[in-house]
Amino acid sequence: MNYWRLSGFYLFYFASLGALVPYWSLYLKSLDFSITEIGQLIAILMATKIVAPNVWGWIADHTGRRMAIVRAASLLGAVAFAGVFLGTGYWWLVMVMSVFSFFWNASLPQFEATTMNHLGEDTWRYSSIRLWGSVGFIVAVVLLGPLLDSYGAGLLPAVVLVLFVGIWISSLLVPESAAGHLPLEQAPLREVLGRPFVISLLLVCFLIQASHGPYYAFFTIYLEDVGYSRALIGQLWGLGVVAEIVVFLAMSRLLPRYGARRLLLVAVGLTSVRWLLIALYASNLGIMLFAQTLHAASFGVYHAVAIYLIHRLFTGAHQGRGQALYSSVSFGAGGATGSLVSGYLWYGISPPAMFLLAAAASLTALLVILRGMRGEY
């Protein structure tokens, strides 16, 4: 029963991402914001991940009420997001997006810790649960493309709010006991953070998510300017997540066979190839189809390995803060940096320059793995 309850939360959470990530920039564009302003507003979604997960992670690890925090954060995030219906000015949206994302971004790291603790020694089953998040993303991104083509981007906020309510309802179905809260032994947090392997892993996470900044913030607008329809763009997003699901299904076999470090090297190398293809061959549909299948590596393999390593490195009472730190360093600091810089590169140099810089960031991550992540896992 807990399998479906855990999977249901991922389904709704990543369905909301499937609505926000590809199409929020289109909604902001429909409000006549500039590319730079769109980059700033989307960066807010990422930047709140720098602070929010760590605040809520500390509270969860000290109170042992992990699911209570997930429920409260999900509800308050939905209520705060409703503010988008009250105004469309730049500073109003800055405030609304800051408040709602502070709560929305708090829930996932604590739910990840809940899932991993519930699985105990069977952490290999994580991907089979998490893949339902990918299913939710696909359903949202594929269905919304034609809907927005027909009814306009103004429909998006209502869809997102419904999905946020779904997140909250699904969180009510997961019992607090699923989080486990087992009294495991662990080294002091500062000792864990001082290990070269951990420092290198967090730096890799930052660089990989920074390289995804232009993809999450501007890929839809980028392809629309080239001439793709919104329906086709939605299908390209969906293809990427289908590839991600295939990898999630295989990770229980890949991790034990090849090891985390080797899989991470392959994933980061293919990430660089992906950004180069998008930068240089955006008008070639065949190449874009292939580039989207590489999402299996750039997110699927990378994320599964990162979650596995964080769970292994941050044990016991550090579980919540470990997942929070991963979220804040990668999706928060990395994603915000990538989105913000991309907005300036679009006008300052050219749209393809965003993805060329993304390729450089992922190549740097490859060097960090080679030099800093040796001798473990």
Going from N- to C-terminal start, the domains of the chain cover 2-171+187-372
pLDDT at 49: 76
Q: Helix axis angle, 302-313 relative to 319-327, nearest 10°?
A: 140
Distance CA 83, CA 103 (A): 14
* Contact indicator for 34, 90 with CB cutoff of 8 Å: no
CA distances 158 to 20, 98, 164, 280, Å, are 12, 18, 10, 36
pLDDT at 316: 64
Q: Give Dmax (Cα) for the chain.
A: 56
Question: What is the band of 184 on the pLDDT scale with cuts at 50, 70, 90?
Answer: very low
pLDDT above 50: residue 109: yes
More confident call, 53 vs 87: 87
CA distances 167 to 4, 42, 104, 144, 315, Å, are 14, 21, 10, 18, 27
* Contact indicator for 212, 297 with CB cutoff of 8 Å: no
**Of the candidate ranges 287-291, 298-302, 333-337, the one whose mean pLDDT is the lowest:** 333-337
- Rounded average pLDDT over 260-276: 94
Distance CA 369, CA 11 (A): 32
- Rounded average pLDDT over 189-211: 87
Give tens-digit pLDDT for 222-264: 998 888 988 888 889 889 888 988 888 888 788 888 888 899 9
CA distances 72 to 102, 170, 177, Å, are 12, 12, 17
What 8-state DSSP symbol labels residue 125? Answer: G
Smallest Cα–Cα separation from 299: which of 334, 325, 341, 324?
A: 334
**The CATH number of the domain covering residues in 2-171+187-372:** 1.20.1250.20
Range of 2-6, 26-30, 147-151, 314-318 with top mean pLDDT: 26-30
CA distances 12 to 15, 16, 134, 141, 194, Å, are 5, 6, 10, 13, 36
pLDDT above 80: residue 181: no
pLDDT at 186: 55
pLDDT, the chain, mean: 84
Helix, strand, or coil here: 218?
Answer: helix
pLDDT above 50: residue 306: yes
* Helical segments of the chain, H only: 2-30, 35-63, 66-81, 90-119, 126-151, 156-172, 189-193, 196-211, 213-226, 230-258, 260-280, 285-293, 295, 302-313, 319-327, 335-348, 351-372
pLDDT at 13: 92
Q: Helix axis angle, 90-119 relative to 2-30, nearest 10°?
A: 160
pLDDT at 183: 47
Q: Helix axis angle, 2-30 relative to 126-151, nearest 10°?
A: 30
Question: What is the band of 202 on the pLDDT scale with cuts at 50, 70, 90?
Answer: very high
Question: What is the band of 115 on the pLDDT scale with cuts at 50, 70, 90?
Answer: confident
Give tens-digit pLDDT for 336-365: 888 888 888 887 788 889 999 999 999 999
Both tokens of 93, joined, read 């949206």
More confident call, 363 vs 19: 363
Question: What is the band of 1 on the pLDDT scale with cuts at 50, 70, 90?
Answer: low
pLDDT at 122: 66
Helix, strand, or coil here: 271?
Answer: helix
pLDDT above 80: residue 62: no
* b/e code 106-144 from CB counts within 10 Å (16+ = b): bbbbbbbbbbbbbbeeebbbbbbbbbbbbbbbbbbbbbb
**Of the candidate ranges 57-61, 114-118, 247-251, the one whose mean pLDDT is the lowest:** 57-61
More confident call, 261 vs 181: 261
CA neighbours closer than 13 Å in the CB half-sphere of residue 218: 38
Tell me the one-letter amino acid at 240: G
